[in-house]
Amino acid sequence: MDHLIFLDNVYKIYGEGLGSEVRALNGVDLSIDRGEFVAIVGTSGSGKTTMMNILGCLDIPTYGDYVLNGELVSELEDTELSRIRNREIGFIFQGFNLIPELTAIENVELPILYSGIKGSRRELAMDALRRVGLEDRAKHRPSEMSGGQQQRVAIARALTTKPPIILADEPTGNLDSKNGEQVMEILRELHSEGSTVVLITHDGTIARMADRIIRLLDGKIVFDSKFDEGDPFSEEVLHVSASGI
């Protein structure tokens, strides 16, 4: 199989040796193939955000190996890690992370500025805003847009460099159901066009839109399978993740 992402016995330990260590990830083995749409689910404290930070090269494992597209991440220089974050991975966060003083199009232009991609930043940014249906909001600042619009700007920002991997951390967490559905539809479209999408969520309803479900509990993977609509076990995994039982 064409493994794009590969974690081998990965641990992330906070406070190691201080008598009160926390194992946010506790011996995780994981492979994600190119073109998959994966939902990583779990309740608060399960290790979801730590997992995303490592997958996005924002953090490194305490122990174990992370191989991204055939490269051992621990052996990469800071400049190469920055290039990966700018060109290979598109990040979508629950909190949008837009700069309040900048307009929508200026926010979307930022990754292009740092990536070194040639071409008109303004045209590339406008194309991305058009893709998410917000070309008419290009000159609006975040305070002048709804939460759903801000999240779509954040998605447009993630798309400007055409990254092969999209990491979405609770992308619908601050949205109502209608706006959440719009965001998920955009992610499904990106997946259908070949992007590898990794969705971090505690919401079983959102997770069922992915093709594969991975459930984390106390830093360990306790379920990893293709999601089967109507299958009692698949449904129970999502119910447990959403309810916290």
109-159 pLDDT, tens per residue?
988 877 767 668 889 899 999 989 999 999 999 999 999 999 999 999 998
Q: What is the C-alpha to C-alpha distance for residues 160 and 89, in angstroms, rounded to an integer?
A: 11
3-state secondary structure of 217: strand
pLDDT at 44: 85
Q: Rounded to the nearest 5°, which phi and psi values hold at 68?
A: -115, 115
Spans of the chain below 50 pLDDT: 243-245
pLDDT at 245: 35
Q: Which helix (H) or strand (E) element contains residue 143?
A: none
pLDDT at 239: 58
pLDDT at 228: 65
Residues 6+ apart with CB under 8 A from 201: 39, 40, 41, 48, 170, 171, 172, 173, 207
Strands in 212-217's sheet, in edge-to-edge order, are 89-93, 165-169, 196-201, 37-41, 212-217, 220-226
**pTM, two decimal places:** 0.86
Q: What is the C-alpha to C-alpha distance for residues 156 and 150, in angstroms, rounded to an integer?
A: 10
pLDDT at 120: 81
Q: What is the C-alpha to C-alpha distance for residues 237 and 224, in angstroms, rounded to an integer?
A: 10
Buried residues in 150-173 as b, exposed as e (16+ CB within 10 A): bbbbbbbbbbbbebbbbbbbbbbb
> How many other β-carbons are positioned within 10 Å of the β-carbon of residue 34?
15
pLDDT at 230: 59
Q: Rounded to the nearest 5°, which phi and psi values hold at 2?
A: -90, 80
